[in-house]
Structures are given as structure tokens and as C-alpha cells.
Structure 1
Amino acid sequence: MINFGMFLKDSLSLDDNKKEALRNYKYAGEDQSFLAPFMYKLWGLFFVFVPKRISPNLVTVFGLIIVLLAFTLIHINLPDNDGFNCLIYGIALFIYQTADALDGMQGKRVHMYENATTEIFDHGVDSIVTSLSCIATITRLTHIDKHLSPIYSVLVLLTSFIGFHAPTYEHVVTRKMKFRPGPCNPTEALVTMQLLYLIAAIYPLIWTSEKSKLLLMIIIVPVLSLSAILSFLSSLKQIHIHHKGILSMTIKTVFRGYSPLFFIIICTFLYLPHISIFYKEHSLMCLLALAIPWNYSIYRTIIVEITNDKNFDTLGVLIGQSPILLPIFVAYFIPSLLIITLIISIILSGTLYIYTVHFTLKEVCHALSMKHFWTVKTDV
């Protein structure tokens, strides 16, 4: 009988080569955002509020906490005030995006910009906020329009997943993070979302008009979906170029690294449209059950990237995502148990995710001779 705990530890443990890669980690990135040069001037105004000797990871965590609090508040307050909820979440996203910019500035100030822990927190938190923001937007829409088809939830959710996952794994292969221009660029996407929440806060009934719904269904969703697909295809092209045009190597690399993304896409199309009636009452839990396994795959991908691991543990990642299969199976064969299995799936996925983060962070900090991830590691 396989000891799952030992299997997980073995797959997450860092050998000497990975620890050496952590110590030599260098970040290389390119942001082709149109808005970023202007927004950084605004975000930089808040840098005076960042204490001089705190870890940039704490700045990142602060932004995450603000979004988590806002996400919780708007779902507790869901039936009451749409305008207030949109205002709260829009402000939270602005604070998070500001913190996301300031952590890089702080990293340079305390010589931790190329510390491997900052990549874990910066990109790992980005994936969490991406999921939460998509879920918050979808639950806003389903609250306003109970007849909204789950297919739009599928498209909005997968757009964010694909647009985020593609450059993340491209980074693993090519050793360079490239954020391309367009609606899926992190800066453009977040600024646009903040503006939409602000408009919805001022005009909370905006999504009840047929013209607004038409704008969402016919223009916004297709544009975002197309942008995500183009981002994915661009990443495939860069991976193919990296392998000097050798198709067999490209296919092998793509299958290895993108299988967790394909798994979530398949699960989403098997799952959400099939439970449309149940989804109308429990959209938040249904979406969380899909988002946590996706975040797990992103986190594992980040660990592969910073350790320069040449052998992506596809099977280990898929096993970590497997709790989502439980409610899918039950939805088809024992629908009366769906709510129970959905809760169990979320708990199992969350536990695996938290354990993985805790275990790998200890390994990374030990390799870098850091007592904790929140301490300042001076590399000079």
C-alpha cells in the first residue's frame, strides 16, 4: 500500500541540485503592458509608507489579506448592497495591485528582488487573487441574474486560467517571464476590473439592463477568451523556438507542463454545465472547487521554475488536483450527495495546497539560510 504522505514529501523535497539552483536564482521578465509605465508612477507614491527593513514578502501578503477580507465581506453581504460590495472589492483590488508593485521596489531596496521566496509569493499570490477576482465577478453576475448560464462562468474562469498559466509555464521552459499586451496582461486586466467595479458601485443596476448583458455576452467574454487563446499560442511558439523547432520536444514539453491546465479545463466543462440548477444556488462553492486545484498546479509550476527542475512532476501535480474528480463523479451518478462531496473536495484540495506551500517554503528557506520567509535576506 502506497503511503500518500511519504509520496507527497518525496515529490516536494529539494535535492542538492535544486537547492543550488535556488541560491543562484535570477529573475528575468518582460512586461509589454501599455498601462504599467503610467501606473508605476502612481503606485510609487505609496512607497513612502513601506517600512525600510521589512521583507517584500510581507508587502505581498498584505495585499492578499486585503483581497481575502474584501472577498469574504462581499459574499457575507451578498444579498444586501451591490453598489457597496462593488466599491469594497474595487478598492481592495487597487490596494492589492499597489502592494504587488511595491513588493518589487522593496525587494530591490533590501536586496531580495532576485530572492527565490519573492517569486513564490509574488506569482503565487497573483494566481490566488486572479481566481478570487474571477469568482467574485461571476458571483456578482449570478446574484444579479439568476438565469445566467454557467457557460459564461466557464468562459470567464478559463480565460483567467489560460491567460495566467501560459506565461507561467513558458517561464519554466525559456527562463523568461513575458507579459504580453492585451486584455490578459496583468496590469490591463486588473485596472479594467477596478474600473468596472467602480462603475458598478456608482451605477449598481448597470448589469440589469439588456444592453449591458449583451455587452458582456457578445463583446467582453469573446474578447477575453480570444486574448487568452492568443497568449497560449504565443507561449507555445516561444517554447517551440526554445527547442529550436524540434516538434517532438515541443509536444513533450507542452504535454508535461500544460496537462494540469488541460485537466482543469476538461473538469470545468464536465462539471459546471452539467449541474446548472445546483450551480445557481451554490456558485461560490462550485467555482472554489475548480479554482483551488488550478492554484495548486500554478504553485507547483513556480517551484519547478525557481529550482530549475528539468523533470516537471506532472503526475504529482495531477494527483494534487484529483479531489475535484469526486464531485464530478457524484454529479453524474449520485447527485443527491453533491453538496457533501463538494465540501469534501474543497477541504481536501485546500489541505493539499496549504501543506504543499508550508512544506516547500520550509525547504526553500532552509536552502537559502533564511529563518523564515518574512525575514530580510541580504545578499550583499
Structure 2
Amino acid sequence: MGFYVPKNKVANLSKYKYQSEDRSIISQKILKPFWNQFVNIYPHWLAPNVITLSGFSFVLINLITCIFAAPDFKSEHPKWCYFTYAIGLFLYQTFDACDGLQARRTGQSGPLGELFDHCIDSLNTTVSMLVFTSVTMLGFSYYTVIMQFFLLMNFYLSTWEEYHTHKLFLSEFSGPVEGILMIIGSFALTGIFGPDIVWRMKIYQINEHFCIETFHLLFVFCGLALVFNVIYAQKNVAIFYKEHTSSKSECERKIKNSNIQLLPFFAFFAIIFMVSILDSRFINLPFIFANGLIFAFVVGRIIVAHLTIQKFPLYNLPTLLPLVTYTLSAFASHVLGYKSDSVITYLSLFQLGLALGIHGSFLNEIIYEFTTYLDIWVLTIKHPKAVKSN
């Protein structure tokens, strides 16, 4: 057995049971009836994981379009681009919802599907954030780093909550439903009115150097949403342990330990913020994308720990990569005398390649372990089962 799934834990996959609770009115009344009809376009022989990957391809196309349309991520795009971003993100949301429906209608539900789905979602968080950053013309700035912190923290909270409660909660307002719909709407509005009106409209002039614009309200909203999600997630975890522990002291101990498990995320982003402040040239596409891959690796390990009933993976060495990259940059520039701009570019690309390799090797091992034990394939259906109607 590999490093991420010990031999004595892989058998816990047989105990897997998916649980979720969706309190979104929009999801219940509008989207789910649509998804239940949309899933019928897929043939019964199509593996659910193919649908997951296909959905992710739409947001990747959005990112590639952004890179060609506005390489600096702070220029206006051709108007048609904004509408394609809205369509691409809507298709991603639809495919992401339908992969689970396809799994149930073909009898292929299992832990590999949940792992695959959540790992793709964790990558999409950074990819879609980059597209949104380009649409709002923020470029590669401190705003971009703050935006990534907000979005990834929400995803980390959701994964942490599911690890402890064994249930995926979607509140009355959640990122996968209302959050994505709001972004889709903002893309469409940007295509109609232009980014200057939607994102750069002046609201209040504080002084000659700083003016509050509409995009600042977005950060206020994201901050409030994050505070709400922190409170909501911690409340759900606390309620779970109060209902499932025999003594008050044990309950308090488990709640305390669960809160400690939030610290690694803050430590990771403390490093990112520190590097960004020390040298803002590190706020570039490879660096941001590499940090997104490191994050996907971290939450991937939490998901695996949840599925195989392991201890929470508190320590992850790849989270130190931004600090290592900065240290190597300072050494190469100040000690060896290389040009700092070139050093930062090459080391950012080096970090991206290393993060991609780490995450890729993690997925390769986990997929091998899961498919071997469960006797299934990843992108094709090995054992067809009776088709279930929706």
C-alpha cells in the first residue's frame, strides 16, 4: 500500500456512504428539476467521472480564453468573451451536479466518485477565481491574493466540516449554487454594460489617492460570507459532537481538536501573504496557480482521510513551497547576483511544476489504491448495473 492509504485503512472504503444536506431553495425548486432532466442526455454507458472531467474542461477553456484576450489580467476583453465565461461556468455547474446523478442512475456511486468530484472542485476554485480576476480587471495584485484566500478558505471549511460530520452541508446560501449563479450573472452583466460600469463605477471618493469602487463591495461581501461560513461550519461540527459523544469533556476535546485543524490553512496563507508583501512580483499566474494546486493536494488528503477513516492530515510539507521559492529567489538574487526578475519568473514556474508533480503523484497513487480495492475503472464502467430512473 502507498503512503496516503495505509494497508490497514484501505478496507474502510467498503464502509463508504454518501450523505448530504442541501438547504438551498434555488437548488431545490429550480436547479434540481433541471438537472434531473439534463442528466438524461448522457448515455448509460458513460462513466460519471468523464462527466466531471468534461465539466472542468469548460472552465479551463475560460481560463485559456482569458490568457489570450487579456494576458495582463487587467485589460478589457472582447464582449463575446464575457458571455462565453458565463456559459462555461454554467456548464461546469451543471456537469458537476449531474455526475452524481449519473452515478446513481447507473449504479456506480462510490468513494472514488466523491474523491474525483471534490478534487476537481478544489482545482476549479482557483481556475474560476483567475477568470473572475481578469473580468474585474484586478490583474495580479494583492486583491488577487485576498480573493484566493476567501474562496479557498470557504472550500477548506466545507471539506473540514464534512470530515467531522460525515455529511456535505450546503446552506441556504452556498458557493456551489448561489455563489456560482451570482458570478454567472456578473459575467453576463459585464458583457452587456462593460467592466468599467459593472466593476469600476465610483461610489465614494475618500481622498485624492483612493476611491471606493463597485469591486470593493465584492470584497466586503466575500468577507461577510466567509465569517458566516466559519460560524456555520463550526456550529455544525459542534452540534455533531454534542449528539455523538457520551461525555461533555470528550465533546469539548473533540471540538477543540477540530478547531486546531483549521490552523494549517491559515499558516499556509500566512506564508503566501508574507511572500507577496516582501516581493509583489511573486503575485503572478504560475505562483497563484501553484498555490491552488498545493491547496488541492491538502484538501485531497483530507478527503482521502475522510473516506478511509484516518486521522486528519495536519501537516503537509508542500505548503512550505512558497517560502522555499522566495528563499531561493533571495539567495539567487542577493548572493549569486542573478537578475531578480528572471529568477522570480523561473522559480515561479519551478514551483508550479513541482506542485503539479506532487498533486499528480498523489492522485495517481490514490486512484490506483481505490480502483484496485474496489475493482473498478476510472473513466469507464467496468461492472454495469441496472439503470435507475430519476
Q: Which moved more, 1:285-294 or 1:244-253?
A: 244-253
Counterpart position of 1:272:
276
Residue 358 (structure 1) shift: 0.9
Matches within 5 A, 1:61-72: 61-72=53-64
Distance 1:81 1:235, change over 3 A: closer
- 1:90 aligned onto 2:86: yes
| Aligned sequence identity (%) | 20
Residue 334 (structure 1) shift: 5.4
Contact in 1 for aligned 2:200/2:215 (Cα 8 Å): no
Helix, strand or coil at the partner of 2:169: strand
Distance 1:76 1:52, change over 3 A: same
**Structure 2, gaps ≥5 residues long:** 205-211, 243-247, 334-339
- 1:81 aligned onto 2:77: yes
Helix, strand or coil at the partner of 1:30: strand
Q: Distance in 2 between matches of 1:378 and 1:229?
A: 45
Deviation sequence 1:38-68 (CA, Å, 0-9, x none):
1222333422321112111111111011221
Matches within 5 A, 1:211-290: 211=203, 214-217=213-216, 219-244=217-242, 246-255=251-260, 257-276=261-280, 278=281, 283-290=284-291
From the CA coordinates, give the structure whose radius of gyration is larger: 2
Counterpart position of 1:338:
344
Amino acid at match of 2:170: F
The TM-score normalised by the length of structure 1 is 0.86
Counterpart position of 1:34:
25
Residue 211 (structure 1) shift: 4.3
Deviation sequence 1:246-299 (CA, Å, 0-9, x none):
3333222332x33431232212321233333x26xx632232132111111111
Residue 87 (structure 1) shift: 1.9
Q: Distance in 1 between matches of 2:81 and 2:143?
A: 21
Question: RMSD between aligned alpha carbons?
Answer: 2.4
Counterpart position of 2:119:
124
Amino acid at match of 1:88: T
The structure richer in helix per residue is: 1
Residue 177 (structure 1) shift: 1.2
The TM-score normalised by the length of structure 2 is 0.84
Q: Distance in 2 between matches of 1:349 and 1:19?
A: 26
Which of the residues 365, 370, 376 maps onto 2:376? 370
Matches within 5 A, 1:1-380: 10-16=2-8, 18-37=9-28, 38-78=30-70, 81-113=77-109, 115-141=110-136, 144=137, 150-182=141-173, 184-205=174-195, 206=197, 207-211=199-203, 214-217=213-216, 219-244=217-242, 246-255=251-260, 257-276=261-280, 278=281, 283-309=284-310, 311-315=311-315, 318-330=316-328, 336=340, 337-377=343-383
Helix, strand or coil at the partner of 1:314: coil
Distance 1:350 1:172, change over 3 A: same
Contact in 2 for aligned 1:151/1:272 (Cα 8 Å): yes
Query: Any runs of at least 4 consecutive aligned residues in structure 1 with deviations exceeding 6 A, and if so which?
Result: none
Amino acid at match of 1:21: N
Deviation sequence 1:290-329 (CA, Å, 0-9, x none):
21111111111111111121x12322xx113332222333
Contact in 2 for aligned 1:162/1:229 (Cα 8 Å): no
Q: Which moved more, 1:298-307 or 1:335-344?
A: 335-344
